[in-house]
Amino acid sequence: MLRRDDMFYIIIVLLTTFFFYLAINLKFSVNENKKYLIVVFVALTVLIPSIVAGGRDLSIGTDTRGYLLADYNISNNVSSIKDAIDLSNEELGFISLVYFVSHIFENIHVVMFVIEFIIMCFVVKYALSADNKDEAHTIILFYMFLCFANSMCIMRQHISLAILLFSTRMFENKKYLHCGLLFILAYLFHSSAVCFLLIYLLLFISEKNSFSVMKRKYFIICIVLSLVILNLSFFLDILINVIHILPSRYNLYISSSWFYSSSGNSIITLRFILNALFIIIFW
C-alpha cells in the first residue's frame, strides 16, 4: 500500500508532466494566438517541482543534511565569497550559488528552491528544443519519474547533468563555443562532468558515420566501458591520485566498504550493462 508521502510525490509528478504535455502540444500546434498559454504551462512545469523541493523538510535528502546545510552555515558566518570558497569542500559553482542566495534571502528553503529551479529550467529547455512532441514529453516523463526525487539529494550532480544535457543541443547545432561554456559551467558544480566528454565523442562519431558504422563503434565503446566499470576503483584511483583530474576528496568513495562489497559492484555493473544493452537495442 502506498504511503501518503508516496502519493504526494506521484501527484506532483503527474501534475508536472500534465502541464508540460499541454505546453508541448500547444507549441507544436498551428495556433499562434495561444503562445501566452505555453508560457503559463511551462512556468508551472518548472515551478511546481521547484516549490516542492524548496519547501521540503531538511531531513529529506542525505546531501541536504550534509553539504547543503554545511555550506549554508558557512555562507551565513563569513563576510566574503572568498572565505566561503576557502572553507567549503564543494565546487566553486555550488558554494557560490549557496552564498549569494543565502545572503540575499537568508533562508535555506529558498536555496533549495533555486537549486531545483535551475535544474528544471535546463531540463525543460532541453525538452522544448526536441524535434517532436513525443520526444519532448518523454524527456520530462523520464526526469520526473526517475530523477526528480534524487535531485533533492544529489543536488550538485543534478545541476551539472541538467546543464550538460542542454549542452548537447548546442553540440548538435554546431555551437561549440556555447557547448564549451556550458561544459565549464557544469564542471563548476560537479567535477565528474569530465565523464560527459564521452557523450560528446559519441555525438561527434554519430555525425561522421552512417547508422551501421556508428552502431558497431558504439558497441565497442560499451564493451570498453563495461571493462572500466568492472575495474572502477582502479580507474578512479588513477583519475584521482595519478593524473589528478578528480579532486582528492573522491578517495572517500573508493575507500568505502560498500564500494568494494559484492552488492556494490553488482549494482554498479548490472545497472551499466542494462543501460548499455537498452541503448544498443533501441539506438
Q: b/e map of 93-129 (b: 16 or more CB within 10 Å)?
A: bbbbbbbebbeeeeebeebbbbbbbbbbbbbbebbbb
Higher pLDDT among residues 258 and 256, named by residue: 256
pTM: 0.77
Mean pLDDT of 147-153: 78
Confidence class for position 225, pLDDT limits 50, 70, 90: low
46 versus 161: the higher-pLDDT residue is 46
Biggest distance spanned by C-alpha atoms of the chain: 59
Which set of grid coordinates corresponds to residue 148?
Answer: 526528480
**Gap between the Cα atoms of 85 and 78, Å rounded:** 10
The mean per-residue pLDDT over the stretch 161-189 comes to 92
What's the confidence (pLDDT) of residue 254?
Answer: 61
Residue 271: the pLDDT is: 52
In terms of phi and psi (left: phi > 0; alpha: psi -120 to 50; beta: otherwise), the region of 61 is left
The mean-pLDDT minimum among 3-17, 134-148, 267-281 falls in 267-281
What is the DSSP-derived secondary structure letter of residue 255? T
- Predicted pLDDT at 48: 95
3-state secondary structure of 261: coil
